[in-house]
Structure 1
Amino acid sequence: MTDPTTATTPATRHGLEAVARPGGGFAMLAVDQREAMRAMFAEHQSAPVTDEQLTDFKVAATRVLTPHASAVLVDKQFAFDAVVDSGAVAPSCGLIAAADHFIAGNGEFVTAVEIDRAVDPAAVRDQGAVAMKLLVIHRPDEAASGRIEMVEEFVDRCRAAGLVSIIEPVAKAPRGGGAWDWDTCVVEAARELGSLGADLYKAEVPRKGQGDEDEIRRACAEITAAVSSPWVVLSSGVPAELFPRAVELACREGASGFLAGRAVWASVIGSADLERDLHEVSVPRLQRLGELVDELVRR
Structure 2
Amino acid sequence: MNLPPYDLATLARPSGALAMLAVDQREAMRLMFAEDSAPEPDGSVPGPVLRSVPDRTLTEFKTAAARALTPYASGVLADRQFCFDALVQQQAVAPGCGLIAAADRFVPGNGEVVTDAVIDEEVDPHTVRAQGAVAMKLLVIWRPDGSAEDRRGMVRRFVQRCREAGLVSIIEPVSRAPRSGQDWDHSAGILAAARELGDLGADLYKGEVPLGGQGSDEEIRSRCAELGAALASPWVVLSSGVPADEFPRAVRLACEAGASGFLAGRAVWRGCIGAPDLAQALREDAVPRLRRLVDVVDETVAAKAG
Partner of 1:119: 123
One-letter amino acid of the counterpart of residue 35, structure 2: E
Deviation at 1:39, TM superposition (A): 0.4
Partner of 1:88: 92
Partner of 1:225: 229
TM-score w.r.t. length of structure 2: 0.92
| Alpha-carbon separation, structure 2, partners of 1:265 and 1:236 | 12
Aligned residues: 286
Residue of structure 2 aligned with 1:38, choices 30, 40, 49: 30
Deviation at 1:134, TM superposition (A): 0.1
Matches within 5 A, 1:222-261: 222-261=226-265
Fraction of identical pairs, as percent = 64
Structure 2 unaligned segments of length 5 or more: list them.
1-5, 37-48
| Alpha-carbon separation, structure 1, partners of 2:126 and 2:275 | 37
Pair 1:188–1:229, CA change in 2 (3 A): same
Deviation at 1:46, TM superposition (A): 5.8
One-letter amino acid of the counterpart of residue 54, structure 2: T
Deviation at 1:184, TM superposition (A): 0.5
- RMSD of aligned Cα (Å): 1.1
Matching of residue 19 in structure 1 with residue 23 in structure 2: no
| Alpha-carbon separation, structure 2, partners of 1:242 and 1:115 | 32
Partner of 2:63: 59
| Residue-by-residue CA offset, 1:68-91 (whole Å, 9 max, x unaligned) | 000000000000000100000001
Matches within 5 A, 1:179-198: 179-198=183-202
One-letter amino acid of the counterpart of residue 37, structure 1: M
| Residue-by-residue CA offset, 1:102-138 (whole Å, 9 max, x unaligned) | 0000011110111000000000000000000000000
| Residue-by-residue CA offset, 1:211-243 (whole Å, 9 max, x unaligned) | 232221111001111111110000001000100
Structure 1 unaligned segments of length 5 or more: list them.
1-13
Deviation at 1:27, TM superposition (A): 0.3
Partner of 1:110: 114
Partner of 1:171: 175
SS in structure 1 of the partner of residue 64 of structure 2: helix
| Alpha-carbon separation, structure 2, partners of 1:47 and 1:227 | 42
TM-score w.r.t. length of structure 1: 0.94
Matches within 5 A, 1:200-219: 200-219=204-223
| Alpha-carbon separation, structure 2, partners of 1:46 and 1:151 | 35
| Alpha-carbon separation, structure 1, partners of 2:212 and 2:85 | 33
Partner of 2:153: 149
One-letter amino acid of the counterpart of residue 173, structure 1: A
One-letter amino acid of the counterpart of residue 91, structure 2: G
SS in structure 2 of the partner of residue 103 of structure 1: strand
Partner of 1:287: 291
